[in-house]
């Protein structure tokens, strides 16, 4: 017994999920003696054998009539509980459970086929079709971990085998008479090398309601399960570019805006030119797990009476009265207006303070709020130094910048900080303009941009720009004259006509662009 080796394997189905309580066997190749067990709660199948022997692992999936060989290996391969030998079933457990049990009958025989490329490389998960000769309809399946497909037919029936070629078409490769069946695989050899079967496609993301999931700078992790190679992408159009070889299993993990991952999804590449591939995520992008303080992309806003100009993609920020919904266009504009800077800077006007990342103005925040907002992104020592700029604006703030330029923040962290801050400011918009939620997302986005830039004060303070326009907007809401707000923005823009240390002409341009977007929102009377 001391000469025996222990083989630790883990059984997965075709979707990449490990399988528990599965009937499995092990045996030396060519032997009739078998060791029968069930996989444990971790999907492990552990058995012992003599060293350097060829061993077959067999399994009996749900609804299967007999055991099938799912892996042939050398018993001396290194394995452990932390690094077990991976063994895959040809299909997912769900597929097996949906199949009807094939009745035992002398009228049905089994013929095995093994697919290899022109270099005799065994092709795993490779697409194959089979059909009775003379028939047009065919049954498509993929090869197993040994490159084998199993075809059931009547005895002495001519069977046609078709395989995928580099033109993405199934071509006839062999016609075989089933006779009385065969347990020795018949070799099907391709004319091309496997390395040339590279698929390039875009996978569209959908939420559980099958609506487009389009979130700015969505982080996506792609892992090739065979090689365990990993790639991190950032997408903004809801489409994942995937390039891999036919038969490769890809695990895709999409991360929400708050950085938390959704459940990984497995994608099997079956075609060179797959179109309209859709990946449904287990999340409702309108409601889902959204909580106050977390933004989420919404469905397209509009209704049957809306024109294309009024139907827009949106981003929501959950506030106490309900979702504060801004158009994707204004969200992008806000990020563009605020711009990203790795080091602290001063915009140049007398009402702004030392600013971090994407528009985080230390002059507008309380000390306690600065600690709360910045602690996930800066060290305690850095925050202590930044607090010197708290409450300061204009030239007093600008004078502090040289002392703080060694404190940096990455663009990714700056975006997370900006997102959290916009949620708070969305709530603040509603404290002075509570009817904002009744407006089109273009208008809601413009008012969020304004308050984020200027704050919510309605009172003039010595040494700062007048707040009369902020008051005029409030009066426009109260007097049902919302259509006058764009002109208020245009008049407000004149406050920033100066350049240099006492002004910021860029903010004036920002107000004028906001006026145009607000007007477009007002024209959409169809929006409710």
Mean pLDDT, the chain, whole residue set: 83
Q: What percent of the chain has pLDDT over 70?
A: 89
Q: How confident is the model over 193-208, as a mean pLDDT?
A: 85
CA atoms of 513 and 332, how far apart (whole Å): 13
Predicted pLDDT of residue 293:
37
Q: How confident is the model over 106-116, as a mean pLDDT?
A: 83
Confidence of residue 146 (pLDDT cuts 50, 70, 90): confident
Predicted pLDDT of residue 412:
81
Predicted pLDDT of residue 268:
82
* Cβ–Cβ < 8 Å for 87, 8: no
Q: What is the pTM of this model?
A: 0.43
* Cβ–Cβ < 8 Å for 178, 154: yes
Q: Would you say residue 502 has pLDDT above 60?
A: no
**Ranges assigned E (strand) in 1-107:** 5-12, 23-28, 35-38, 44-49, 54-60, 68-74, 85-88
Q: What is the 3-state secondary structure (H, E, C) of 494-521?
A: HHHCCCCCCCCHHHHHHHHHHHHHHHHH
CA neighbours closer than 13 Å in the CB half-sphere of residue 430:
17
Between 255 and 351, the more confident residue is: 255
User: For 83-109, how does the pLDDT look when each residue is reduced to its tens digit (9 = 90+)?
Assistant: 899 999 999 888 887 765 444 445 688
CA atoms of 446 and 490, how far apart (whole Å): 13
Q: How far is CA 212 from the centre of its chain?
A: 12
Residue whose C-alpha is closest to residue 346's, from 313, 306, 392, 302: 392
User: For 397-413, how does the pLDDT look when each residue is reduced to its tens digit (9 = 90+)?
Assistant: 999 999 999 999 988 88
Predicted pLDDT of residue 315:
81
Predicted pLDDT of residue 504:
56
Q: Would you say residue 462 has pLDDT above 80?
A: no
Confidence of residue 294 (pLDDT cuts 50, 70, 90): very low
User: For 378-396, how does the pLDDT look when each residue is reduced to its tens digit (9 = 90+)?
Assistant: 998 999 999 999 999 888 9
* Cβ–Cβ < 8 Å for 414, 358: yes
* Cβ–Cβ < 8 Å for 151, 114: no
Burial 9-30 (b: 16+ CB within 10 A, else e): bbbbbbbbebbeebebbbbbee
User: For 263-282, how does the pLDDT look when each residue is reduced to its tens digit (9 = 90+)?
Assistant: 788 888 888 876 667 887 77
């Amino acid at each position: 017994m001391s000469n025996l080796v222990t083989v630790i394997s883990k059984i997965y189905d075709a979707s990449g999920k490990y399988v528990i309580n599965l009937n499995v066997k092990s045996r030396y190749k060519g032997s009739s003696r078998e060791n029968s067990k069930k996989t444990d709660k971790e999907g492990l199948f552990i058995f012992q054998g003599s060293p350097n022997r060829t061993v077959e692992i067999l399994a009996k999936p749900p609804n299967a009539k007999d055991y099938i060989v799912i892996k042939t290996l050398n018993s001396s391969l290194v394995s452990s509980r932390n690094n077990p030998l991976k063994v895959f079933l040809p299909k997912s457990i769900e597929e097996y459970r949906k199949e009807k049990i094939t009745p035992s009958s002398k009228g049905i025989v089994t013929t095995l086929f093994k697919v290899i490329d022109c270099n005799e490389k065994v092709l795993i998960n490779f697409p194959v079709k089979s059909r009775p000769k003379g028939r047009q309809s065919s049954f498509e399946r993929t090869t197993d971990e040994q490159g084998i497909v199993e075809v059931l037919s009547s005895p002495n029936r001519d069977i046609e085998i078709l395989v995928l070629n580099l033109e993405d078409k199934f071509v006839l490769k062999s016609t075989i008479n089933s006779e009385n069946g065969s347990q020795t695989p018949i070799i099907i050899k391709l004319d091309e090398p496997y390395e040339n079967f590279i698929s390039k496609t875009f996978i569209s993301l959908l939420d559980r309601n099958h609506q487009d999931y389009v979130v700015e700078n969505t982080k996506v992790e792609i892992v090739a399960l065979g090689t365990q190679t990993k790639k991190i992408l950032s997408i903004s159009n809801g489409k994942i570019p995937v390039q891999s070889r036919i038969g490769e299993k890809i695990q895709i993990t999409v991360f929400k805006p708050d950085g938390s991952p959704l459940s990984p999804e497995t994608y099997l590449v079956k075609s060179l030119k797959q179109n309209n591939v859709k990946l449904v995520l287990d999340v409702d992008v309108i409601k889902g797990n959204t909580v106050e303080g977390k933004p989420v992309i919404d469905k397209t806003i509009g209704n049957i009476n809306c024109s294309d100009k009024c139907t827009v993609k949106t981003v929501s920020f959950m506030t106490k009265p309900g979702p504060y919904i801004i158009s994707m266009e204004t969200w992008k504009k806000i990020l563009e207006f605020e711009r990203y800077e790795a080091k602290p800077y001063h915009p140049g006007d007398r009402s702004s303070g030392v600013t971090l990342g994407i528009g985080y103005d230390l002059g507008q925040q309380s000390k306690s709020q600065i600690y709360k907002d910045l602690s996930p992104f800066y060290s305690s020592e850095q925050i202590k130094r930044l607090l010197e700029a708290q409450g300061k604006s204009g030239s007093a703030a600008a004078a502090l910048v040289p002392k703080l330029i060694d404190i940096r923040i990455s663009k990714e962290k700056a975006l997370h900080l900006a997102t959290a801050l916009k949620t708070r400011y969305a709530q603040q918009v509603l404290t002075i303009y509570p009817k904002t939620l009744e407006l089109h997302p273009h208008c809601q986005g413009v008012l969020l941009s304004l308050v984020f830039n200027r704050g919510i004060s309605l009172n003039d303070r010595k040494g700062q720009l007048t707040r009369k326009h902020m008051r005029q907007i409030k009066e426009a809401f109260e007097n049902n004259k919302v259509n006058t707000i764009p002109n208020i923005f245009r008049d407000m823009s004149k406050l920033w006509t100066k350049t240099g240390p006492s002004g910021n002409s860029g903010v004036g341009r920002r107000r004028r662009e906001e006026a145009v977007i607000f007007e477009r929102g007002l024209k959409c009377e169809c929006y409710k």
